[in-house]
Amino acid sequence: MRVLVALSGGVDSSVAAARLVEQGHDVTGVTLRLWGGASDTGCCSVADVEDARRVAQQLGIAHHVFNLSDEFEAHVVGPYVADHQAGRTPNPCIECNRHLKFDALLRRAEALGFDRVATGHHARVVVAADGRRRVGRGADRAKDQSYVLHVLDQDALGRVLFPVGELGKAGVRADAARLGLRTAAKPDSQDVCFITSAGGRRAFLGERIPLRPAEVRDARGTVVGRTEAVELVTIGQRKGLGLAGGTSPRYVVDVSVPDVGDGATPVVTVGARHDLLVDTVALDGLAWSAGPVAGPVQAQCSAHGAPATARVEGATVRWDRPQRRVARGQSVVLYVDDLVVGGGFAA
């Protein structure tokens, strides 16, 4: 089978390629050039491309670089900025998977005659008796990446491979060491690839949009503080709100951001910890991976968050027990056992 492996320059994708080579597949490596700006925390640096190239050389496979920077700007960076400007909290890794790694790359692989695309994600593709596919959690629960893959549809799941999904992280590094791969001890990439650790979100967003101050109010509408950039505020936040010290902890429970140019002042509402708890969360873009599930599900609201039991009523998730509010724009991913059955975005 001809397999195009996405080599990020990290240990997981390196071992994914190595395992496919050992299985006898015709393997080619490709590194996606997505972000051309400054990067010191993610997987888009020049050093990462060089690591990917050297791993391909060690494995004796061809290596290419695909420039998808225009698509990345259009489908990931642009929406990321727009979401912050509208008071949402986006997850750019999910949009990168949706539009780049499992759409643009799949289409290019098909045009080039490849049978499958493989990545180093810690996840599995599980095929039911009726042939329908779902994303399954990776064997290493601490490294499981099924949450960021919930957007994959049946077509994509039929054309992708996750060769390290059955391995724990220790097993991945052991394989890399056994093979003498240069990435064997390389640390995992962290955070968003286009946000630098030095400047953070403030510097990145501030170069692209005007950051607007917001009033911080309590539940009665009394102004209790002020923040200089509402675009940096999210649900559950405690710091950076200009609140007086010596009081009980207060958390962001709502972010109201008017349209740019209408003259209204953005408002951040704070409350006590118990004010963060809600019974439901409405979803935008709810999609089921293989048909709706009528019974209870486990709903997970962050990449490594603890799932909680709920039922789905229309486009609303109703928790069995009150749960912390979910910031608008964050994914709510639905599981039955270890299988992704659906997901959407908090409205």
pLDDT 10s digits, 208-245: 999 999 999 999 999 999 999 999 999 999 998 988 77
Q: For domain 2-179, say whether CATH 1.10.357.10 is its number.
A: no
Both structure tokens of 65: 């670089």
Other beta carbons less than 10 A from residue 247's beta carbon: 8
Which residues does residue 31 pair with via DSSP β-bridges, in sequence order?
A: 65
pLDDT higher than threshold 90 for residue 125: yes
* Confidence (pLDDT) at 40: 60
CB within 8 Å of 187: residues ≥ 6 apart: none
Average pLDDT over residues 259-271: 88
* Confidence (pLDDT) at 44: 62
pLDDT higher than threshold 60 for residue 41: no
Provide the CATH number for the domain formed by 276-346 in this structure.
Answer: 2.40.30.10
Of residues 48 and 322, more confidence is placed in: 322
User: What predicted TM-score, i.e. pTM, was given to this entire model?
Assistant: 0.93
Where are the chain's structural domains?
Answer: 2-179, 210-271, 276-346
Which residues does residue 226 pair with via DSSP β-bridges, in sequence order?
A: 215
Establish whether 93 is a catalytic residue. no
pLDDT 10s digits, 267-290: 999 999 999 999 999 999 999 999
Q: Looking at 43, 44, 93, 193, which residue is catalytic?
A: 193
pLDDT higher than threshold 90 for residue 26: yes
Establish whether 193 is a catalytic residue. yes
Contact call for residues 5 and 13 (beta carbons, < 8 A):
yes
What mean pLDDT value characterizes the chain? 94
Average pLDDT over residues 172-186: 94
pLDDT 10s digits, 2-13: 999 999 999 999
Q: Looking at 43, 44, 93, 96, which residue is catalytic?
A: 96
pLDDT 10s digits, 87-115: 999 999 999 999 999 999 999 999 999 99
Q: Write the CA distances from 84 to 79, 102, 234, integer angstroms.
A: 9, 24, 9
Sign of CA dihedral 271, 274, 278, 284: positive
